[in-house]
Amino acid sequence: MVKIARILFVFFTVMMVLSSCDNGKSYADLLKEEDKAVKAFLADKIVINSIPADSVFVTLQDVGNNDTLAVPYYRLDDDGNVYMQVLDAGIQDDRFEKGNDVNIRFLRVDLKALMNGENPDPVGNTNPADYITIRFGETTLSSTTQYGTGIQYPMYFLGNECKVNLLIRAKLGFTAETSTVIPYLYTISYNKSK
């Protein structure tokens, strides 16, 4: 049964990729555009290509005066699919554990649109009564996996009530949007579900 599910997943992923080629652009062209948008966004940022050995990240609180340009973006995976800027590291004595239900609120912006000189309105769910609950470390539950794996990365390093800016390439973003090849910049807060 699991094998059939995997085959169907691969089939539908390939179909999405093939159907994503809008305006005559190939999937390879879309990947190049995504890469260009990510590089353009990070060009004037401090980028650290590894996770600190002690997992102590420089945060907005550390630099003070709300100067987000002084807070580095950390590459969280070897392929450069996820970069994290820590705004608030959260409660370090209250870390996330696999299986925790976590409420997230986010706004996100299309980086390709930003690169093209547009000023897209951020979209998301920042209303206090409007949050999404995901299960940390879950890889099969669709209510979690639909948001992609990239959105879970900060929970491996930070504490409850953390807040980050997170750049996620489409490959690790919302599963329904993988074929669009649009990288997004998220501002996300994470709080354990009570």
- pLDDT per residue as tens digits for the range 98-107: 999 999 999 9
pLDDT for 4: 46
Does the pLDDT at position 131 exceed 90? no
Average pLDDT over residues 10-29: 60
Quickly state the pLDDT bin for 23 (edges 50, 70, 90): low
Contacts of 165 (CB under 8 A, 6+ apart): 68, 73, 84, 85, 87, 185, 186, 187, 188
Model pTM above 0.95: no
Residue type, 89: A
| Average model confidence (pLDDT) across the chain | 88
Number of domains in the chain: 1
Contacts of 77 (CB under 8 A, 6+ apart): 153, 172
Quickly state the pLDDT bin for 130 (edges 50, 70, 90): confident
Do 34 and 113 contact (CB within 8 A), yes or no? no
Domain encompassing residue 138: 2-192
Share of the chain above pLDDT 90, in %: 73
Query: Left if phi > 0, otherwise alpha if psi is -120 to 50, otherwise beta: which for 124?
Result: left
In three-state secondary structure terms, 101 is strand
| Alpha-carbon distances, residue 96 vs 65, 136, 143, 168 (angstroms) | 28, 8, 18, 20
Length of the chain: 194
* 174's tokens: 């919302």
Pairing relationship of beta strands 82-88 and 91-95 according to DSSP bridges: unpaired
Do 94 and 192 contact (CB within 8 A), yes or no? yes
CATH of the domain at 104: 3.10.50.40
* 172's tokens: 């690790």
Q: Where is mean pLDDT largest: 20-34, 44-58, 113-127, 152-166?
A: 152-166
